[in-house]
Every structure is written in structure tokens, then in C-alpha cells.
């Protein structure tokens, strides 16, 4: 199941609040050279570019579906290229700002990932990342648990998406030991309100569920979705549904 920009954009307002908090951490710098890793549709990257008209912004994403309409955001100081974060990290280019909103949780092994991300930052530049604190978020935990149950466990050949997202202490220590200064390492709850539990399902369905649906044989997909919806309904049993979405914001200068 590929990424679907239409499903993703259904909750664009709820998804963009943490992006604007991450954007507020960007230090002003003339002619800022920046990269947005896992830029998705490019819509939020274009806000970054608009805030720094004399800068130069590159958005990269591995999903052709998400980048489908990114051309409409291309401007003098903003362009997009399709490649993975892993491919980007193998390239020699460095940036004043290495930025990533809601994407690094898809890349494994954060100890090594962050060491490589920091190498992409020019001296005096900044690394900023925003990610969901997946170990705490109930929708992720329910998915992870369901994947360990029969018949899904067998159907998915023991596939389970353990989150690579680490604790705040670990990120702070990692940034510091790699020479980071002016650290911001915080968690914030974004209060999401959904009309009903079906909406919570669609919210998670557009992101966290994707690898599970990809791993499941088609014959089990419908029952996996039904049981998942049932579990969500057991947990979120009042209307409207309040979902305290916990996210991590990181920034450091190198």
C-alpha cells in the first residue's frame, strides 16, 4: 500500500501544528541552504521556503505518490527530488539547515542515523527534527500488539514494526556527544479531536498502518482492519474522541 497524499491531507491541519513548532526553531541566517528530508507533498516545505525568501530549499522524499503534485510548490528558492533519506545521507552535500518533519520515524537505527544527519550540517548550521513519540502513542501500540496475534503474526511472517524512536534523554545525549549546542529536546502533546473512532482509524491508516497492510496477505487485510478498528473503539469509547498525540521536537547547532 503506497503513501496516498489525499488520505494524508485529510488531516493536514492536525498534522501541520507540530511542523510549525519545528519551523519556529529555525535560526535566522541569510541565504540559508536547507534540505527537508521526507518532505511528503511539499506543501509544508513551501512554508519554510516562503519564510526564507533568500534561501535555497531542497525537499526529498522516496514516495513518487507523495511527490506527485509537488511541482506546484516549486519556486525560485524551492525544488524537489525523489530519493530516500538513506540515499541522501550517502551524498557529500552539506546544508545550513537539515530539517525533517514526521519522517525520521520511518528510518531505522537512530544512533547511526543521527550521526549521519549531523555530518550533513555545515559548521554553525542546525539540525531540526520532529517525530511522533511512537512508544507512547496508543494507536501505534495497538497496531504493534495486533501484529503479534494469530492469524496476523503468521500471515505477516512475524513482521513487526518496532519504532526506532528513542527517549528524549538518548536524543539529548546523542546530540551533545556529537558536538551539538543550543539544544532543544522536548516532547509536546498535540490535542487532537476526532468526531468518532472511524476518523482516528483514517488518521492512522494514512501513515502508521501502511507497513502492516503491505506485509499482510490480501486475505487477512480486511479482518486486520476490522479488529484494529474494534481495538480503537474499545480504547476510545466516548465522542468526540480526544487523542493526546505526543511528539518529539529536536534542535541543535553544530
Ligand X SMILES: C[S@@+](CC[C@H](N)C(=O)[O-])C[C@H]1O[C@@H](n2cnc3c(N)ncnc32)[C@H](O)[C@@H]1O
Interacting residue ranges for ligand X, rule: CB under 6 A: 3, 15, 19, 38-40, 44, 61-63, 66, 84-86, 101-103, 106-107, 207
Residue nearest to ligand X (CB): 40
Q: Which is nearer to ligand X, 2 or 191 (CB)?
A: 2
In the complex, least distance from residue 101 CB atom to ligand X, rounded to whole angstroms = 4
Nearer to ligand X, 71 or 222 (CB): 71
The residue among 61 and 96 lying less far from ligand X, judged by its C-beta, is: 61
Which uninterrupted H or E stretch holds 36?
A: strand 33-37
Judged by beta carbon, residue 22 or residue 232, the one nearer ligand X is 22
Q: How far is the CB of 11 from ligand X (least distance, A)?
A: 10
- Whole-angstrom CA distances from 253 to 92, 103, 161, 240 are 19, 20, 31, 41
- Please identify, using beta-carbon distances, which residue of 77 and 207 lies nearer to ligand X: 207
Residue 114 CB, nearest distance to ligand X (Å)? 14
Report how far apart, in Å, the C-alpha atoms of 204 and of each of 92, 171, 175, 210 are. Answer: 35, 25, 30, 9
Q: How near is the Cβ of 237 to ligand X at its closest, in Å? A: 27
Shortest distance, position 232 Cβ to ligand X, whole Å: 19
Q: Cα separation of 131 and 118, whole Å?
A: 17
Nearest to 193 by CA among 41, 21, 11, 1: 11
Which three three-digit cell numbers place residue 134? 511512537
**In sequence order, which ranges of 26-109 are alpha helices (DSSP H)?**
43-51, 85-89
Amino acid at each position: 500500500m503506497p503513501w496516498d497524499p489525499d488520505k494524508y491531507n485529510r488531516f493536514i491541519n492536525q498534522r501541520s501544528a507540530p511542523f510549525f513548532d519545528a519551523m519556529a526553531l529555525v535560526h535566522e541566517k541569510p541565504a540559508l541552504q536547507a534540505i527537508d528530508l521526507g518532505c511528503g507533498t511539499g506543501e509544508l516545505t513551501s512554508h519554510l521556503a516562503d519564510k526564507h525568501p533568500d534561501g535555497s530549499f531542497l525537499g526529498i522524499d522516496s514516495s513518487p505518490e507523495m511527490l506527485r503534485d509537488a511541482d506546484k510548490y516549486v519556486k525560485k528558492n524551492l525544488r524537489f527530488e525523489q530519493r530516500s533519506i538513506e540515499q541522501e545521507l550517502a551524498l557529500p552535500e552539506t546544508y545550513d539547515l537539515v530539517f525533517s518533519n514526521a519522517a525520521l520515524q520511518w528510518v531505522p537505527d537512530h544512533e547511526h542515523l543521527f550521526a549521519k544527519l549531523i555530518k550533513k550540517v555545515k559548521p554553525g548550521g542546525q539540525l531540526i527534527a520532529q517525530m511522533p513519540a511512537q512508544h507512547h502513542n496508543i494507536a501505534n501500540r495497538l497496531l504493534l500488539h495486533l501484529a503479534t496475534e494469530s492469524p496476523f503474526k503468521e500471515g505477516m511472517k512475524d513482521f513487526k514494526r518496532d519504532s526506532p524512536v528513542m527517549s528524549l534523554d538518548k536524543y539529548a545525549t546523542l546530540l551533545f556527544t556529537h558536538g551539538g549546542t543550543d539544544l532543544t529536546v522536548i516532547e509536546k502533546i498535540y490535542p487532537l479531536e476526532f468526531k468518532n473512532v472511524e476518523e482516528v482509524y483514517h488518521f492512522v491508516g494514512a501513515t502508521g498502518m501502511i507497513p502492516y497492510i503491505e506485509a499482510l496477505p490480501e486475505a487477512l487485510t480486511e479482518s486486520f482492519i476490522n479488529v484494529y478498528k474494534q481495538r480503537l473503539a474499545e480504547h476510545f469509547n466516548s465522542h468526540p474522541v480526544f487523542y493526546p498525540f505526543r511528539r518529539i521536537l529536536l534542535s541543535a547547532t553544530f
